[in-house]
């Protein structure tokens, strides 16, 4: 047993990019899987590990920047050997790097990466039953599935303050998609290509709302984007729902503008402030439900 995986069966293929030390580091018993983002490319990380540091990870999963190879898994080290990217967890952790475009806090894992990560987690638990099917609980009880800053940063797994594998976006995907898949032993991956879909939503918004927006308007559009993204992949529906949300916002802003005019007209500023605060609360409450109602009609 070399600790090399047969990656041919993975959803987006795979292969070996073995580091010189891939099979001569100290032996480990794998108990924990730790997901990372590399803030860069698989090829760059491989060269960094090989030439400019004494660190290693076991795997890297390619992403959007690798084009047609998005989701491909590269293995750097034997899973039976220590890889030194996880501080205390080096003695028991199997570490998986993932590609990003330099901003993993905001760039989600692609669908292909999520599929490959879920496949790899499942494969590792089959090959090494010393990894239990559970969430890593703490530094004192670390076995299971984890991600780099799961127990804090700095923590037992990192000496530095960091957000790896990316907060909030990738950490949310880890909790919402990868962890449930691991716990259930399934692959409930979203069908849509989330990256492409988000880009379409954003371009629909840009096209329809080219006039300069206010912060409030942008906030509601973000809300609209998230809600639509969870419900529809039809561009016409997205546009209609975004327009409905923006109408609501414009109506609310018109009311606020009316209040400002009231101050100019000599109304007691304290009264105006109280009315504005109340209106802001009402706006906050009404916008999501008005938006969702509009969306329901559209869909």
Distance separating alpha carbons of residues 246 and 181, to the nearest angstrom: 36
Residue number with CB closer to Zn ion (75 or 149):
149
Q: Is the dihedral of CA 156, 184, 98, 189 positive or negative?
A: negative
Distance separating alpha carbons of residues 20 and 234, to the nearest angstrom: 49
* 3-state DSSP of 93-156: EEEEEECCCCCCCCCCCCHHHHHHHHHHHHHHHHHCCCCCCCECCCCCCCCEEEECCCCCCCEC
Give the range of 34-42, 117-125, 126-134, 254-262 binding Zn ion by CB under 5 A.
34-42
Distance separating alpha carbons of residues 142 and 49, to the nearest angstrom: 25
With CB under 5 A as the contact rule, the residue among 77, 112, 147, 164 that binds Zn ion is 164
- If one asks whether residue 36 binds Zn ion (CB under 5 A), the answer comes out as yes
Size of the site for Zn ion (CB under 5 A): 3
CB 285 to Zn ion: min, Å = 40
With CB under 5 A as the contact rule, the residue among 12, 148, 151, 217 that binds Zn ion is 148
CB 146 to Zn ion: min, Å = 11
Residue number with CB closer to Zn ion (59 or 291):
59
CB 176 to Zn ion: min, Å = 19
Residue number with CB closer to Zn ion (50 or 167):
167
Q: Which of 52, 74, 49 is nearest to 61 (CA)?
A: 74
Q: Which residues bind Zn ion (CB under 5 A)?
A: 36, 148, 164
């Amino acid at each position: 047993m070399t600790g090399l995986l047969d990656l041919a069966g993975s959803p987006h293929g795979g292969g070996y990019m073995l580091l010189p030390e891939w099979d001569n580091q100290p032996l480990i018993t794998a108990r924990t899987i730790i997901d990372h983002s590399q803030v860069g490319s698989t090829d760059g990380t491989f060269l960094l590990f090989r030439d400019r540091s004494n660190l290693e990870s076991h795997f890297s999963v390619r992403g959007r920047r690798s084009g047609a190879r998005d989701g491909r898994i590269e293995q750097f080290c034997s899973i039976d050997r220590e890889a030194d990217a996880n501080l205390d967890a080096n003695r028991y952790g199997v570490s998986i790097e993932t590609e990003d475009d330099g901003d993993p806090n905001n760039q989600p894992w692609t669908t292909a990466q999520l599929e490959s990560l879920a496949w790899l987690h499942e494969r590792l638990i089959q090959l090494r039953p010393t990894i239990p099917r559970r969430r890593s609980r703490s530094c004192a009880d670390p076995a299971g599935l984890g991600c780099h800053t799961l127990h804090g940063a700095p923590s037992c797994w990192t000496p530095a303050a960091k957000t790896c594998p990316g907060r909030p976006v990738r950490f949310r995907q880890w909790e919402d998609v990868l962890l449930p898949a691991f716990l259930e032993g399934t692959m409930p991956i979203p069908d849509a290509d989330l990256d492409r879909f988000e880009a379409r939503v954003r371009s629909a918004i840009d096209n329809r709302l080219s006039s300069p927006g206010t912060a409030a308007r942008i906030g509601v559009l973000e809300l609209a984007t998230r809600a639509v993204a969870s419900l529809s992949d039809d561009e016409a529906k997205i546009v209609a729902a975004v327009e409905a949300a923006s109408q609501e916002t414009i109506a609310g802003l018109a009311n606020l503008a009316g209040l400002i005019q009231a101050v100019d007209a000599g109304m007691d500023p304290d009264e105006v402030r109280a009315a504005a605060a109340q209106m802001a609360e009402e706006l906050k409450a009404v916008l999501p439900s008005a938006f969702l109602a509009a969306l329901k009609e559209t869909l």
